[in-house]
Amino acid sequence: MNKFTGKGVYGAIAIGKILKFQRRELSVKRKHIEDADSEKSRLATAKELAVHQLQEIYEKALKEVGEANAQIFEIHMMMIEDEDYNESIKNIIETQMVNTEYAVAVTSDNFSAMFGSMEDSYMKARAADIRDISNRIISNLSAGERENVIGDEKVIICADDLAPSETVLLDKEKVLAFVTAFGSSNSHTAILARNMNIPAIIGVGSDFLDTVKDGDYAVVDGFTGEIFVNPDAETTKRLQKKQQEDEEKKRLLQNLKGKENVTLDGTKINIYANIGGVDNIGAVLLNDAGGIGLFRSEFLYLENSDYPSEEQQFAAYKKVLESMAGKKVIIRTLDIGADKQVDYFNLAKEENPAMGYRAIRICLTRPEIFKTQLRALYRASAYGNLGIMFPMITSVPELEAILKICDEVKDELKSDGMEYAENIELGIMIETPAAAIISDRLAPMVDFFSVGTNDLTQYTLACDRQNSIIERFCDTHHEAILRLIELSAQNAHANGAWIGICGELAADTSLTETFLRMGIDELSVSPSFVLRVRDTVRNINLSE
Ligand code: PEP
Ligand code: MG
């Protein structure tokens, strides 16, 4: 038996066979571009990153396999800077006005064919190196994709890390658990695992993948963050018992369906659910959520290979609104960038993507994308009780610009003779310290606030939510965060707006009483946490 320990991000037990997640060969599409200079700067950034990666590999190889074997990585670093290779890529970009990935792929084919046809065996072998460095650059440009390789049997997916786009592409019905060598508990992959009710452990360490193999039998304890590979009979028995007890507890929570979210002294709160797509509606209804407090609409974009059309988006939003039959549905506008990368947006690699070109910043820079989404949202509003909220707000002018675009969209729909609801609530996410601090200025402009504690934590504590190394410095209960939430609540209420929390902290039942005392009106959590939070609320007495 081998035991590995990481951090459990969804408490449940899974027992089954391991499947190691495989990377897929990169597929490169030819795309027409308008700005050759920006493509060339994408190339420079991807190359810089590649050299940095190779330097790290070189140093590790030097220690582990010696100078002679490590040399190849030095050669790769030199090849990346080769003048002919770079000239070829730039010429292809400029003359054909195509994307960098395509220019690199064509150059790679040409150069590797040239080396492959040489007599000299040393030069011949360089063909593989050309392909290798080119794949590295392409992968840096496009964040890399992996293949969904699951067969008929349910499996425990083990990976180095999983990007949100990779996680969403997995067939959820066949995943028993996720275990990743790296990753952090506030990452979107961890959030997705919670949303999908899938036991998950992250950060079990780099040895893990070298030790386990496909088909190994394992038990995952998402409560303690332990995974037992080829466990002995006693461990299996103990965890099977724990699994039964957990399932029994979850069954008992079912008795709370249909009951109010009310404290012992009569204070009420809304408990809504967070979703990533239409597929999650079943879980929302099954867990008796009072509404949807956060629909992460970007998953529509992540699942698509091109910009989803207005009609496609309209159909998805309408379906959610109709399924919720008049209950509140808050749809957040596109929040891509940072860890949520979508190939066809062609976003450049950034030094600090979390603080970079993401979410509302993309929407305000590319209003055609924003308007398409808003048109779909407004049109869908005729079919239910819609609220729209905007992510990553930091300033009043930003919000003014958004509201102006909303008005333009409404005017356009009116002149197109399209129906939409007049009473749509508009809100913003409070997920930057700036928004919380100026919440007195923002509150009069909107109907509601929704606190995104995942990002608010990373920006307040200067802790990258993707970085597992600094997880211990990332205290989600930090006084600064609680004070910012309280300040936002006071300013919301003083201006007639309501306030909810939709970050992961909303499901932290050790804080439910604190939130109630602050006057938080709504908590939006993964569907499977709704009844647990209801149970907590019903046992709180605020008059004590
Ligand atoms: C948050 O930041 O808390 C949030 C809910 O948004 P996301 O996790 O999608 O960034
Ligand atoms: Mg966020």
CA dist 264 and 539 (Å) reads 6
pLDDT in tens, 405-431: 999 999 999 999 999 999 899 999 999
Rg, the chain, Cα only? 25
- Predicted local distance difference test score (pLDDT) of residue 191: 79
The sign one gets for the Cα dihedral 499, 504, 505, 509 is: positive
Examine the pLDDT at 225 and tell me if it is beyond 90: yes
CA dist 188 and 161 (Å) reads 11
Neighbours of ion ligand 2 (CB under 5 A): 431, 452, 455
Decide: helix, strand or coil at residue 452: coil
- Ligand with an atom nearest the CA of residue 525: 1
**Catalytic residue positions, numbered:** 188, 502
- Predicted local distance difference test score (pLDDT) of residue 61: 65
Examine the pLDDT at 152 and tell me if it is beyond 80: no
Q: Which residues, including other chains, have CB under 8 Å from residue 329's CB and lie 6 or more apart?
A: 291, 292, 295, 320, 321, 384, 385, 386, 387
Q: Which atom of ligand 1 is least distant from the CA of 186?
A: 8
What does the angle CA 474 – CA 478 – CA 480 come to, to the nearest 5 degrees?
A: 115
- Predicted local distance difference test score (pLDDT) of residue 406: 98
* pLDDT category of residue 297 using cuts at 50, 70 and 90: very high
Q: Which of 33-42, 151-160, 427-436 has the lowest mean pLDDT?
A: 151-160
Tell me the H-state helices in 81-223: 83-96, 100-116, 121-142, 164-169, 188-195, 207-211
Whether residue 535 has its Cβ less than 6 Å from ligand 1:
no
CA dist 379 and 459 (Å) reads 34
- Ligand with an atom nearest the CA of residue 503: 1
The residue whose CA has the least distance to atom 1 of ligand 1 is 452
Q: Which atom of ligand 1 is least distant from the CA of 458?
A: 2
- pTM recorded for the entire structure: 0.71
Tell me the H-state helices in 164-229: 164-169, 188-195, 207-211
CA dist 44 and 504 (Å) reads 37
- Predicted local distance difference test score (pLDDT) of residue 117: 81
* pLDDT category of residue 357 using cuts at 50, 70 and 90: very high
- Predicted local distance difference test score (pLDDT) of residue 65: 57
- Answer for the pair 333, 398: CB distance below 8 angstroms, yes or no: no
Q: Which atom of ligand 1 is least distant from the CA of 274?
A: 5
Whether residue 503 has its Cβ less than 6 Å from ligand 1:
yes
- Predicted local distance difference test score (pLDDT) of residue 145: 43
* Residue predicted with more confidence, 198 or 227: 227
Whether residue 200 has its Cβ less than 6 Å from ligand 1:
no
Q: Which atom of ligand 1 is least distant from the CA of 503?
A: 3
Whether residue 534 has its Cβ less than 6 Å from ligand 1:
no
Whether residue 341 has its Cβ less than 6 Å from ligand 1:
no
The residue whose CA has the least distance to atom 8 of ligand 1 is 454
- Predicted local distance difference test score (pLDDT) of residue 168: 65
Q: Which of 162-176, 323-337, 496-510 has the lowest mean pLDDT?
A: 162-176
- Answer for the pair 504, 455: CB distance below 8 angstroms, yes or no: no
- Answer for the pair 221, 236: CB distance below 8 angstroms, yes or no: no
- Predicted local distance difference test score (pLDDT) of residue 12: 92
Instruction: Give mean pLDDT, residues 347-376.
Output: 94
- Predicted local distance difference test score (pLDDT) of residue 364: 97
* Residue predicted with more confidence, 145 or 210: 210
The residue whose CA has the least distance to atom 9 of ligand 1 is 296
Instruction: Give mean pLDDT, residues 275-283.
Output: 90
pLDDT in tens, 47-73: 998 898 888 877 866 776 567 667 777
Q: Which residue in this structure is represented by tokens 């929407």?
A: 363
Mean pLDDT of the chain: 90
